[in-house]
Structure 1
Amino acid sequence: MNNIGEALRETRTYYDLTQDDIAKIMNISKSSISHYEKNDWIIPIKNLALLADHLNISIDYILKLTKVKNYDNSRKGIDLSLMSKRVCEICSDLNYNNVQFAKYLNTSESNIRNYKKGIYPILTAFAVQMALKNRYSIDWIIGKSDIKFINY
């Protein structure tokens, strides 16, 4: 799924939720939800995690990356410590150093270092890119699941 906003809107309507409902779940404004659904803005991974936790489904499912609604033993929220280890593991899997990984994600090397240190969550766009190009589960990347690869 390349259209994050469309996937978010489809999930919202499937679960019979309004933009107000989603805004309350994420503790943000209704207008932000509208911007996410129109792809004016990319929804932060933390907000996707809140929605996934509330609906008891995976982020991968929300974004139409898999038909698996939820992974066994999934955890709530984002685990920055586990995410940092998994970003390092992805670099190792791809045989990338920080410079190469930054180029792959079209970001700065300092962002890569910060992800590897668990200073802040990876951007949604970067997680989606890794899911689409290399089949990494977004839920696995951010520590919500132990299932490393997406099962289409």
Structure 2
Amino acid sequence: MTRLFLDTNALLDLVLDRTPGGAAMQGLVTMARAGYCTLLTPSLALKDLSYVITESPTAKEAMPDRRERMEAAAAARELAFETCEICDVDEMVCRRAHANDDEPDYDDALVAECAVANGANVIVSRDRKAFKAMEIPKLSPDQALKLVRTRLR
């Protein structure tokens, strides 16, 4: 079964239904719920997700009431819990990311090494600069959805 490791931006596409990526992420969730793939994400992505929804200027403008933002963040985390395996970012992952010379951005190296440690087949991300030298291929949400659909045939 295809194990798709969601970068933070892909997870944000899902919970915020952002364009581009949101529709494809919803499709991947449907495929995962039907048992055609497994979605994974690093535990750190939940922290980033919460921050973007509660503290970003865009969120504050869209939802001036802090309580409303907190409830939206809780709902987003709940969606992640329901749809993804949440993967630990432990000392081994941190050390491997630290030693990863191919990935200059430490946050991206953490995601990449967490994906490797958890047996992911693909990293799903819209970040064009990240994950270029990894042993695991990176696909956009649209590409990942096409991959899962192709494997159904």
Shared fold (TM-score, shorter chain, > 0.5): no
TM bucket (normalised to shorter chain) is: under 0.3
Normalised by the size of structure 1, how large is the TM-score?
0.25
Normalised by the size of structure 2, how large is the TM-score?
0.25
Compare relative contact order (CA 8 Å, sep 6+) and give the higher one, 1 or 2.
2
